[in-house]
Structure 1
Amino acid sequence: MDKLYIKSQIAMRQSEFPTDLKRRDNPLPVGTNKIVTIPGVRRCGKTSRMEVVVNDLLTQGVDRKRILWVSFDDERLVRMKSDELDHIIEAYREMYPDIEMSDVYMFFDEIQLIEGWEYFVMRLYKHYSKNIYISGSNATMLSSELKSALRGWPEEEETLPLSFREYCEFKGVDAEGWLESDLAKIRNAFFDYNNEGGFPEVVLTDNPLQKAKILQGYFDTMLLKDLVEHYNLSNIEVLRYYLKRIMSNLTKPTSIRAIHGDIKSRGLRVSKDNLYDWAGYACDIFMFLRIPNYSKSLQKVESSQPKYYCIDNGLRDAVLLPQANDDGKKLENTVFLQLYRRRTPVDKIYYYQGKGECDFVVQRGTEIAQLIQVTWDMTDEETRKREINGLIEASNATNCDNLLIITADQHDEIITDDGKTIHVIPAWRWLLGK
């Protein structure tokens, strides 16, 4: 790799700061003496979160020459071999021989594209700087092997598309307002958010056709670059169809065996093992997040059919095109993403399926902390009975009486025949913690 090119990239990035950015709710930590890792789906705002750190450092008087930023999404840098990564440090030291490396803030964007990157970062941490930030679009960048290589030093700051509170901030809606006019704007913002999702670039784009074009581009990049190229996959059209099938099955347990049968019936050839692998890869790149069926038996949990949730409702709509009567599915997806954001290190999220169903079982440590049903509307008596009965069955199975039903815009309190209290709350209130 030509060090002159590396130097030009370092200098170019230094000249671009500070950048004009909207802040996210949770800023990245500074001065922790840990390697800060920022995993997350493509285009969700990982780079922007790191750029905010740079903006703040410059505001505090840090010389921009002390910022070392390298993006491995660069067409030429992505071809680097692991033994060439040291050229980055050599190039920087040649540019600024008087700057102590311990005073340098290092930012490596999409570094997981370089095989063996973790050992390079560990060397930097040991011998040069304690101010290291790394982002990546693949969950395996923080697999057990890499955590072992980094010996417990990473601090993980996983990033998702915008939360509803962040969406309101980006849209200029006062999420803290309590006047009726404020609440009307919040409700309207929620309906938009439930449809278009939270990718920052999409949220800040006004033209609906342009939004769809951007999201279709995201999907194609995930498909071709993050899956096909990264995992050396063939059978692209079968893979595309398979991902769409998982998306269309949103909110339901997904049988890969059944999808395999469907693919075979269409005259297409793919092994069942490949489909299991592909589903895992799609989760690794954060296209999907999955949860198992709740059981007190670990064996049953591991063997259950998972539910797959999509990282963004807008992405799903752009791929499948908006489906009729799909608001409830998208609402459940929105609720899951927020549960995933709010989870603590000891939290686990399941679904419950017995005679009835309960959408979410939230376990905190060894205790079941909450049971949640999600439905767009509860005015229909049959729907109301189904949601309540599913909650009660799950409550009896888990010994949890913290029961919640999240709807599009209904508020209620239900006392069941056996004295249990079920709180019914509009999604927009729950998402904002109101």
Structure 2
Amino acid sequence: MRISDRSSIRGKMIDTLKEIILDFQEIDLNTGTPRLIEVTPVTEKATICIGVRRGGKSTFLFQLMKRLLDSGVDRQNILYLNFFDDRLHRLQHEGLAAILEAYFSLFPEKKNKEKIYCFFDEIQMIHGWEPFVDRLMRTEKCEVYITGSSAQMLSKEIATQMRGRALSWEIFPFSFQEFLDCRGIENRGPLSTRKRLLIQKGFEDFWTAGGFPEVVNLDKSLRIKIHQEYFSAILFRDLVERHDISHPRAVVDLAHWLIDNTASLYSINNLTGYLKSLGHKAPKSAVSDYLEWFEDAYVMFTVRIFDASLARSNTNPKKIYCIDHSLVTSVSSGILINSGHLLENLVFTALRRLTPDIFYFKTKAGKEVDFIAKESDGSRMLVQVCESIANSKTKNREVAALNEAMSELQLSSGIIVTRNEEDKIVVDSGQINVVPAWRFILNVAERRTLKIIN
């Protein structure tokens, strides 16, 4: 390509960037429901917000921008780019430096004089973004906020490339508390009978709608359609395209098997055998990669058995959970999923917002407890999930498993999460609190502390 042609292409890219930057100056910020996420910028560190596609990251950026504007920051001092915008595709070839060239050609008086607030949405779409952001923070007077739908943005490799200039926060779909806020249901403070009934009704709505912000107020048929589109986009954009998978059908079939078996045990061997039975030639190593990529995209999560030996923990069967229980009902075949699995998935996502350190536990006698979660202060929470313990046989089974686990782990309390029941049960090892799901999830949300990932 001739130099003149190259210069012309770059000039057009600069003009496009200017147009996008100026368009943003005129739009109304759709800030939606305030998220209960406290992000505190740290000098000379980029703030990275990561989470599943369509989980509300872009809206959260708008909320951060609104706070800046309310504090007196000039709108022109906010630079926003969404890298899903197809007009920015050529930045992959022209280089991200064109962004600063375009911005400061519009507002030259601000360079090195005023602080610029840079918001880059889904920047992982552009290869080589890390050194650009690193240089931006070293050479310009700015704060940088980034979103991404890949847990790879937490990796040690990126931390190294950015020379430690990044702090990351996870953003999930709406929690139950945020869902209540979205619906205008007040639950803070002492609960009157009326308030409790409204919360319980809100929980039934949350049980149906799930937490993806876009669908919480839609009817069933539209919600299912959008959930299915989400799932397809995650599979093809965040897995197949991102990892250049040559046989995408195997990934799709595996994803649907995992969704159909939410809250169930799996092993690499049985997954590999399942794909082989469908005619896919996916070795164990490929299946392991697929599972890591599902988790990287924040769509499915693996839970290992609690064991002091990492080798034993890795070789034992693992359990699979989805980012959103309602997404499961929209995407699954409906043959294997039941309301007990969905309740367990709902409890998992509540715990996952609190901590990534979640395991299932097996007592020496082989009794299973659904979750043992390690909190930020080092304490452990033992949680069993059961729709109802009204049946005495079911109650005895769940209580016995928790009692044994409490004894072996030297814990004085355990929790049974149900759909509606509430009780306190004294056992040899201490006390078991039976808690309805709505109350448990709200209690977990209150215990959540600001978590800096790296």
TM-score, length-scaled by structure 2: 0.89
Q: Does 1:113 align with 2:125?
A: yes
Q: Structure 1, residues 11-53: CA drift from partner, whole Å, max 9, x if none?
A: 1112114334221112433565421100100011111111011
User: Do 2:304 and 2:317's aligned partners in 1 also have CA atoms closer than 8 Å?
Assistant: yes
Instruction: Give the letter aligned to residue 167 of structure 1.
Output: F
Q: Does 1:274 align with 2:280?
A: no
Aligned to 1:208: 220
Q: Report the alpha carbon displacement of residue 274 of structure 1 after superposing the two structures with TM.
A: 1.3
Q: Report the alpha carbon displacement of residue 421 of structure 1 after superposing the two structures with TM.
A: 1.1
Q: Does 1:427 align with 2:437?
A: yes
Instruction: Give the letter aligned to residue 50 of structure 1.
Output: L
**What percent of counterpart residues are identical?**
32
User: Do 1:227 and 1:281's aligned partners in 2 also have CA atoms closer than 8 Å?
Assistant: yes
Q: Structure 1, residues 159-211: CA drift from partner, whole Å, max 9, x if none?
A: 00000000011112222362222212211221221232100001132x21111
Correspondent of 1:16 among 6, 21, 27: 27
CA shift in 2, pair 1:377/1:237, >3 Å: same
Instruction: Give the letter aligned to residue 197 of structure 1.
Output: G
Q: Does 1:194 align with 2:207?
A: yes
- Equivalent positions of 1:281-430 (< 5 A) are 281-322=293-334, 326-343=338-355, 348-354=357-363, 355-364=366-375, 369-416=380-427, 418-430=428-440
CA distance in 2, matches of 1:174, 1:390: 36
User: Do 2:382 and 2:414's aligned partners in 1 also have CA atoms closer than 8 Å?
Assistant: yes
Instruction: Give the letter aligned to residue 178 of structure 1.
Output: L
Q: Report the alpha carbon displacement of residue 236 of structure 1 after superposing the two structures with TM.
A: 2.3
User: Do 1:68 and 1:104's aligned partners in 2 also have CA atoms closer than 8 Å?
Assistant: yes
CA shift in 2, pair 1:263/1:325, >3 Å: closer
User: Do 1:36 and 1:134's aligned partners in 2 also have CA atoms closer than 8 Å?
Assistant: yes
Q: Report the alpha carbon displacement of residue 270 of structure 1 after superposing the two structures with TM.
A: 2.2
Instruction: Give the letter aligned to residue 19 of structure 1.
Output: N
Moved more, 41-50 or 264-273: 264-273
User: Do 1:6 and 1:91's aligned partners in 2 also have CA atoms closer than 8 Å?
Assistant: yes
CA distance in 1, matches of 2:311, 2:282: 28
Q: Structure 1, residues 386-413: CA drift from partner, whole Å, max 9, x if none?
A: 2112212222332222211111111101
Instruction: Give the letter aligned to residue 352 of structure 1.
Output: F
Structure 2 unaligned runs (5+)?
Answer: 1-9, 447-454
Aligned to 1:218: 230
CA distance in 1, matches of 2:434, 2:47: 39
Aligned to 1:247: 259
User: Do 1:369 and 1:402's aligned partners in 2 also have CA atoms closer than 8 Å?
Assistant: no
- Equivalent positions of 1:132-151 (< 5 A) are 132-151=144-163
Q: Structure 1, residues 354-376: CA drift from partner, whole Å, max 9, x if none?
A: 41101111234795522110111
CA distance in 1, matches of 2:378, 2:139: 43
* Count of aligned pairs between the two proteins: 429
CA distance in 2, matches of 1:43, 1:74: 15
CA shift in 2, pair 1:324/1:225, >3 Å: closer
Instruction: Give the letter aligned to residue 203 of structure 1.
Output: V
User: Do 1:18 and 1:55's aligned partners in 2 also have CA atoms closer than 8 Å?
Assistant: yes
Aligned to 2:36: 25
CA shift in 2, pair 1:234/1:251, >3 Å: same
Aligned to 2:102: 91
CA distance in 2, matches of 1:204, 1:32: 39
TM-score, length-scaled by structure 1: 0.93
User: Do 2:411 and 2:429's aligned partners in 1 also have CA atoms closer than 8 Å?
Assistant: no
CA distance in 1, matches of 2:424, 2:216: 34
CA shift in 2, pair 1:397/1:130, >3 Å: farther
Partner SS state of residue 115, structure 1: coil
CA distance in 1, matches of 2:205, 2:120: 34
Q: Report the alpha carbon displacement of residue 125 of structure 1 after superposing the two structures with TM.
A: 0.7
Correspondent of 2:273 among 231, 243, 261: 261
Aligned to 1:7: 18
Partner SS state of residue 109, structure 2: coil
- Equivalent positions of 1:33-112 (< 5 A) are 33-81=44-92, 84-101=95-112, 103-112=115-124
Aligned to 2:135: 123
Moved more, 165-174 or 144-153: 144-153
Q: Report the alpha carbon displacement of residue 130 of structure 1 after superposing the two structures with TM.
A: 3.8
CA shift in 2, pair 1:90/1:402, >3 Å: same
Correspondent of 1:169 among 176, 181, 191: 181
**What RMSD in Å do the two structures reach over aligned CA positions?**
2.0
User: Do 1:82 and 1:114's aligned partners in 2 also have CA atoms closer than 8 Å?
Assistant: no
Instruction: Give the letter aligned to residue 360 of structure 2.
Output: Y
Partner SS state of residue 441, structure 2: helix
User: Do 2:134 and 2:165's aligned partners in 1 also have CA atoms closer than 8 Å?
Assistant: no
Partner SS state of residue 131, structure 1: strand
CA distance in 2, matches of 1:15, 1:300: 57
User: Do 1:82 and 1:115's aligned partners in 2 also have CA atoms closer than 8 Å?
Assistant: no
User: Do 1:291 and 1:306's aligned partners in 2 also have CA atoms closer than 8 Å?
Assistant: yes
